[in-house]
Chains A and B, each alone.
Chain A
Amino acid sequence: MSAPASEFEARLRAIGAERYHHRHPFNLRMHAGQLSRDELRTWVANRYYYQTRIPVKDGLILAKSGDPAFRRGWIGRIQDHDGTAEREGGLALWLALARAVGLDAERVASLCDVLPGVRRACDAYVAFVESHDLLESVAASLTELFAGDIMGERIAAFEKHYPWVDADGLRYFRSRTVQAPSDARYGLAYVLEHAHTAADRDRCVAALERKCEILWNLLDAIEAAHAALAFARAAQPRLEDPEPLVVLPERAVKLAGSAREILRLCDGKRTAIAIAAELRDRHPQVEKIADDVHDFLDEMVKLGVLDCERP
């Protein structure tokens, strides 16, 4: 005999309380009014990539169902994001937000400034839906259960702390305060009805946890891009050696020649975004150089070569 549905629902809701990105330090700082204009712009430009993945993901979900009633109930999500005509729908509203924070909407739509870590997180969500069944895919969408609240807080925070953002830009958040709870009710009802066995329920829990992790990783990547980078206290860089390397306790990290130029810029003041921009200006002929710089810097932080001083 499996546990009652109410207990299952409580398990799902507990995941949100514990792991949803409303608890991420970057989100906390956003809502406390502590983000710089640049940080807020980076968030808007990068989060747009996530928005573009949503209708793609929902298309995949539609294709998994053989039930016309389910599809009728789900297809509205795609229209919510894409609109029924140009300049309507959630994606267009997000671009309005981009303009309201002072970004070039066309550039945002081109996705050319999306951080590689953000791209990986969002692509991981689409890949998850591609490789899992309908039940798990719907369960992964249940972060919407927690989205209604966060949107309300966000609108208040923007009005209070970021008055320089044109109020018209906040229409996306307003639309989601209505859409997210209604979408979530539909998704939750589906999951509660179709997760028959304890194993099904465990799969749903795992899917929702994975989705929370993806959203968390997205904010991690944005936060890391704005952290000032410096050599870790434990690291002894030997950049001028014929074979450059960085020595750490009980290991050394060998560097390729090009790494030298990047690491010389890690002065404790510049952020990864600033360093990537500088390298792109210096070497405009190198394709995707900013992505490579970000990936390299992330790797150096993981290896303990660099310390990333988050604000």
Chain B
Amino acid sequence: MSAPRPYNLVAELTYRCPLRCVYCSNPIGYRAVRDALGGPAWSRVFGEAAALGAVHVGLTGGEPALHPDLEQIVAGATRASLYSHLVTAGTTLGRDALAALARAGLRSVQLSIQDAEEAAADRIAGAECFDAKLAFAAAVRDLALPLTINVVLHRHNLARVAEIVELAHRLGAARLELANAQYQGWALRNRAALLPTRAQLDAAAREVARLRRESPGMEILFVLPDYHRDRPKPCMGGWGHQSLVVAPDGRVLPCHGAAELPGLEFWRVPERALAECWSDAPGMNAYRGEAWMRAPCRDCPERVRDFGGCRCQAFALTGDASATDPACALAPAHEIVLRAREAAGEPAASFAYRGSA
């Protein structure tokens, strides 16, 4: 077995979620994916992941708090010496339940917030959730759990990064991820309504640079989106390279979106051992390393940094998962991204909420 060490396990506990965010990264066909793993099955996955070298587990979804065995799952991660990190929308988990998770060994929490303004936030989430999130953040802080706030950025909230930083500060966040939307899944459907202009991004980047100086106590992450950068993102740190995703149905994947790629065979736990699913599944090896690359990636010095970009984006935009990621200025299909960029200055289209047809 020569597969690399997966330092990070992404445990997608369920795709169910009370929110309907217009940029949700879950697969469009999420409804068909059943929750197949209970507490004991997840615990076994954690033990096997630790044996493969994992040290960190992100408990995510959907909304992971909707999994009935969450407390048992956190305890399982603790037993496997995995650093457990809960990625939540914060609307369904009460104070007592969160305290129970902390007692079970939960190490840190990431809370998603849509905007600094209630009405705008709830419009993006497609649900009334803003106040519940603020209350949840207070509960996290009271338990002294390290808090990351994640805000997906797009043309409707980029002008408010200063208010967002101020809110994160007030909520006691140790880290703030200002994550520009990645145009896959629901976000790709809503691209014409979400994609910002370069000018909006540059203004926000300048604000962030200023705010970093003024709030040195809080780490602020901000990365220009690949649509405006001419270089693809180093998706997942490489396909099947350092992160391992287990979907709610037990499928072992290299990333959140890979199950949507046609013709790739992935394997499931508990039918097979996690190590086997990680190292030997044909889908896992389809884009591992560099052998799959075509020109211009094949000979490009950047390939060690961007790993050839995102396969799911290549498929979504060109219909061919082996194509060069169109976000790259060297890609034959870069024109697709350039056209989307130009359209970013036009009036926004209406939203298709997650779950809508």
Q: Is the CB of A236 within 8 A of B83?
A: yes
- For A, the interface residue count at a CB cutoff of 8 angstroms equals 12
A304 vs B173: C-alpha distance when bound (angstroms): 13
A251 vs B83: C-alpha distance when bound (angstroms): 10
A64 to nearest B CB, angstroms? 30
Partner of A247, one of B56, B110, B144, B174: B56
Say yes or no: is A245 at the interface (Cβ < 8 Å to chain B). Answer: yes
A231 to nearest B CB, angstroms? 12
Q: Is the CB of A236 within 8 A of B107?
A: yes
Q: Dominant SS at the B interface?
A: strand
> Which residues of B5-25 are within 8 A (CB) of A?
7-8
Q: Is the CB of A250 within 8 A of B110?
A: yes
Say yes or no: is B175 at the interface (Cβ < 8 Å to chain A). Answer: yes
A208 to nearest B CB, angstroms? 17
- For B, the interface residue count at a CB cutoff of 8 angstroms equals 17
Residues of A within 8 A of B146 (CB): 233-234, 249
B215 to nearest A CB, angstroms? 15
Contacts A233-B146, A234-B174; A252 near B55 (Cβ below 8 A): yes
A interface footprint on B26-65 (CB within 8 Å = 1, 0 otherwise)? 0000000000000000000000000000011010000000
B50 to nearest A CB, angstroms? 11
Q: Is the CB of B85 within 8 A of A250?
A: yes
Residues of B within 8 A of A264 (CB): none
Residues of A within 8 A of B144 (CB): 233
* Closest residue on chain A to residue B7 by CB atoms: A252
B interface footprint on A279-293 (CB within 8 Å = 1, 0 otherwise)? 000000000000000
A245 vs B81: C-alpha distance when bound (angstroms): 13
Say yes or no: is A238 at the interface (Cβ < 8 Å to chain B). Answer: yes
Q: Is the CB of B56 within 8 A of A238?
A: no
Residues of B within 8 A of A236 (CB): 55, 83, 107
Residues of A within 8 A of B58 (CB): 250
Please, could you name 29 A-B residue pairs with CB atoms under 8 Å apart, sorted by A? A233-B144, A233-B146, A234-B107, A234-B108, A234-B146, A234-B174, A236-B55, A236-B83, A236-B107, A238-B55, A245-B55, A247-B55, A247-B56, A249-B85, A249-B107, A249-B108, A249-B110, A249-B146, A249-B148, A249-B174, A249-B175, A250-B108, A250-B110, A250-B148, A252-B7, A252-B55, A252-B56, A304-B174, A304-B219
- Could you list which residues of chain A lie within 8 angstroms of chain B, going by C-beta atoms? 233-234, 236, 238, 245, 247-252, 304
